[in-house]
Amino acid sequence: MSEVTDLIPHRPPFLFVDRIVSASNTGLVAERTWRTDEDFYRGHYPSAPITPGVLLCESVFQAGALFLAKQAQAAGMKPGEGVPLLAKISDVRLRNPVYPGDTVHIEVKQKESMGGFTMMDGQIKKTDGTRVLNVSFAVAWKAPEAKQA
C-alpha cells in the first residue's frame, strides 16, 4: 500500500485502493479487497451488507488520482506538489453489487486532457470478470493552496 499512499493524499478509512496492478501512459489498473470489518457495512445494510455505490465510484476516482500522480511524477513533479480534484462525474452505471470480501479490479483510461483537466473513463470488474460499474469523470491536478489562518 505504500506506493498508493506515496502518490495520493487519501488515507484510511477513506482509502479505497489497495495496490496498483499495472500502469501505462494511457491508464492504470488497481485492486481493492472490500474487507468484511469495514464500518460502513454495519449500516449498509445490516442484514444483507453490500458496498455503497458511491464508495465504488470513489475507488475509481482514487485510481484516476493515482494515474495522474504517476503522470505528474514522470514529468518531474515531487510528491506533495499537487492534489487531485474531482471536477465532473457522468454516466454512472451500477451493474452488479460488491459484497464484503470481494476483490475487484479498478481500471481507468485517459480520454483527453484540456485546460488543466483530464477526462477519464473508469470501470470496476470482479476478479471473475463480472462487470460492476462504469463511470466517466474529469480530474484536475492542482497545487495545494496555503491554509488561511
Confidence of residue 111 (pLDDT cuts 50, 70, 90): very high
| Domain 2-142 CATH (choose: 3.40.190.10, 3.10.129.10, 3.30.420.40, 3.60.110.10) | 3.10.129.10
Active-site entry in 15, 27, 44, 130: 44
Whole-number pLDDT of residue 82? 78
User: What span, in angstroms and rounded, lies between the C-alpha atoms of 60 and 108?
Assistant: 7
Residue 81: pLDDT above 90?
Answer: no
* pLDDT over 70 percentage in the chain: 95
Confidence of residue 149 (pLDDT cuts 50, 70, 90): low
User: What span, in angstroms and rounded, lies between the C-alpha atoms of 105 and 98?
Assistant: 12
Each residue's pLDDT tens digit, 2-14: 899 999 999 999 9
| 22-48 burial: b if 16+ Cβ within 10 Å, else e | ebeeebbbbbbebeeebeebeeeeeee
Residue 112: pLDDT above 70?
Answer: yes
Mean pLDDT of 64-74: 93
Whole-number pLDDT of residue 101? 97
In DSSP terms, which residues pair with 147 in a beta bridge?
A: none
* Dihedral angle, C-alpha 33, 34, 37, 41, nearest 10 °: 180
Whole-number pLDDT of residue 78? 79
Mean pLDDT of 75-97: 90
105 is catalytic: no
Between 78 and 89, the more confident residue is 89
Confidence of residue 141 (pLDDT cuts 50, 70, 90): confident
Residue 110: pLDDT above 80?
Answer: yes
pTM to 2 decimal places: 0.93
